[in-house]
């Protein structure tokens, strides 16, 4: 597609439920990032995928969070047993550059998925 697409745009769930958030990157972009943006906070890095390499999961806040990506296509971020502190906007970004921003590659962001945990 023309840009990074994320779904759902809004999700309200009850504490303890599992949620899945989807990211469809720009076609051909090898790298994909997930960030979390909580109210009044900056963007927190969660996970990074680069082609078929092992993902960098160093930003995932707990084992309730996981993400998958098949090849260079869609990615899914899963949050199990959601807690109220998981309420945030989850942003996905993709880039063509193998080295990401350090190589001059611009990150293209989706509009985000707003998650509200009641």
Partner 1 sequence: AQSVTQPDIHITVSEGASLELRCNYSYGATPYLFWYVQSPGQGLQLLLKYFSGDTLVQGIKGFEAEFKRSQSSFNLRKPSVHWSDAAEYFCAVVGDSGYSTLTFGKGTMLLVSP
Query: CA of 61: how far to CAs of 47, 57, 70, 103, in Å?
Result: 10, 9, 22, 27
Identified binder of partner 1 from the candidate list 77, 91, 115, 117, rule CB under 8 A:
91
Member of 13, 22, 26, 43 binding partner 1 (CB under 8 A): 43
Q: What angle do CA 89, 90, 91 make, to 5 degrees?
A: 115
84 binds partner 1 (CB under 8 A): no
3-state secondary structure of 46: strand
110 binds partner 1 (CB under 8 A): yes
Q: How far apart are CA 109 and CA 95, in angstroms?
A: 9
Nearer to partner 1, 32 or 117 (CB): 32
Among 77, 112, 113, 117, binds partner 1 (CB under 8 A): 112
Q: What residues line the site for partner 1 (CB under 8 A)?
A: 3-4, 33, 35, 40-43, 45, 48, 50, 56, 58-59, 91, 93, 99-104, 106-112
């Amino acid at each position: 597609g023309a840009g990074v697409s994320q779904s759902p745009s809004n999700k309200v769930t009850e504490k303890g439920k599992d949620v899945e958030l989807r990211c469809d990157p720009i076609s051909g972009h090898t790298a994909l990032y997930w960030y979390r943006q909580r109210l009044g906070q900056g963007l927190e890095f969660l996970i990074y995928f680069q082609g078929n390499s092992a993902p960098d999961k160093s930003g995932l806040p707990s084992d309730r969070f996981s993400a998958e990506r098949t090849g260079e296509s869609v990615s899914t971020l899963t949050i199990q047993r959601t807690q109220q502190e998981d309420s945030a906007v989850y942003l996905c970004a993709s880039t063509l550059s193998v080295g990401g921003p350090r190589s001059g590659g611009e990150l293209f962001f989706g509009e985000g998925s707003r998650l509200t945990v009641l």
